Copies of this chain bind each other. A is one copy, B any other.
Amino acid sequence: MMSIARPRLSGKTMHEEPIMDVAHLGHIELFTPKPEESLRFFVDVLGMTESGREGESVYLRGWDDYERYSLKLTGSATSGLGHAAFRARSPQALQRRVGALQGSGFEVGWHEGELGHGPAYQFHDPDGHLIELYYETEWYEAPAALRPALKNQPQRFPARGVNVRRLDHFNCLAVDVQANREFFERYLGFRLTERIVLNDGTEVGMWLTSTNKSYDFAYTREAHGVKGRFHHVTFALDSREDILRAADIFLENGVFIETGPHKHAIQQTFFLYVYEPGGNRVEVANAGARLVLAPDWRPITWTEEERKKGQAWGLKTIESFHTHGTPPPPDGHGRGRKG
């Protein structure tokens, strides 16, 4: 019933080879107007570990993050994304990407590096979010009290709160989702795995990866026409039961649960969204069971009708999921004004 095409390995079918220069998402910086409460949330409720402080920033990590930190939490006048950082696969890979970005109009330039990693090349995506790429990094060395029993693990399991394992992905808002996808594909070599395209052809969501995870970040459409806004950051847990237990713990701690636990149709992520005290949306999700191993993965496109069906098991998508982002839009950029 299944026929197999056997294309020749001729020059004609030789596509350009994939760019493999970005190894993985390294960390994100979150701004919070309530730094103390936000810190308590990430440490006591999410179960993260503080691994550094500098100025207004506290550096935090999940117990299985191999680098020194995966979250930089910075006290600020408002909420939102400070920057997102990807680690290059090699020094050469970093230089290749810098070479591609230089003169593109998106570049910001070299940053001398900060706590935990070496020189980083910074640039903006078309929506204005600040992104950086680095190679040199500091592997986490657990202090004695946090040393794990098994030496193939960077830090002991904290057994505190939600016990998030590692940074999984982030989600930005963008006025022009397609432009941002094309930017990351062209300049960084990310691969598209899924997207949403409305009936009028507008791309309103896209999920990109540089790993075997089915996405390392996503962009979805900005509802207020304001650039540079942030949707959520996601930390990984091992199983769906871990997400349910997280819901129990959020409930006990008075954390606002926006929606979930439930299963997204898109990417099949088992999700749970809450707001941290600074206003930023935080997700915990089970990670890893679904892998994209195909080097030539065929992107899935979801239609407007399919999206209207809600989530995988029928939960209607909550309205705030389409509108809440950080920082809050300035006055005059209310819901009525779409980008």
Binary CB contact string for chain A from 134 to 145 against chain B (1 if under 8 A, 0 otherwise): 011011110100
Q: Considering the chains assembled together, what is the distance between the CA atoms of A51 and B4 in angstroms?
A: 13
> Which A126-152 residues have a C-beta within 8 angstroms of B?
135-136, 138-141, 143, 148-152
Residues of B within 8 A of A89 (CB): 17-18, 20, 295
| Contact between B4 and A291, CB atoms less than 8 A apart | no
Interface residues contributed by chain A, number (CB under 8 Å): 100
Tell me the smallest distance from the CB of A109 to a CB of chain B, in Å.
Answer: 15
> Is residue A77 within 8 Å, beta carbon to beta carbon, of the partner chain?
no
Residues of B within 8 A of A288 (CB): 287-291
> Is residue A252 within 8 Å, beta carbon to beta carbon, of the partner chain?
yes
Q: Considering the chains assembled together, what is the distance between the CA atoms of A250 and B150 in angstroms?
A: 12
| Contact between B7 and A268, CB atoms less than 8 A apart | no
Binary CB contact string for chain A from 173 to 207 against chain B (1 if under 8 A, 0 otherwise): 00000000000000000000010000000000000
Residues of A contacting B: mostly: loop
> Is residue A244 within 8 Å, beta carbon to beta carbon, of the partner chain?
yes
> Which A91-128 residues have a C-beta within 8 angstroms of B?
91-95, 113, 115-119
Tell me the smallest distance from the CB of A302 to a CB of chain B, in Å.
Answer: 8
| Contact between B291 and A157, CB atoms less than 8 A apart | no
Q: List 22 A-B contacts (CB under 8 A).
A: A4-B138, A14-B92, A17-B90, A23-B295, A139-B298, A149-B251, A149-B252, A152-B194, A152-B265, A152-B267, A157-B248, A159-B160, A159-B161, A211-B291, A212-B213, A238-B239, A239-B241, A244-B270, A261-B313, A262-B262, A287-B288, A288-B288
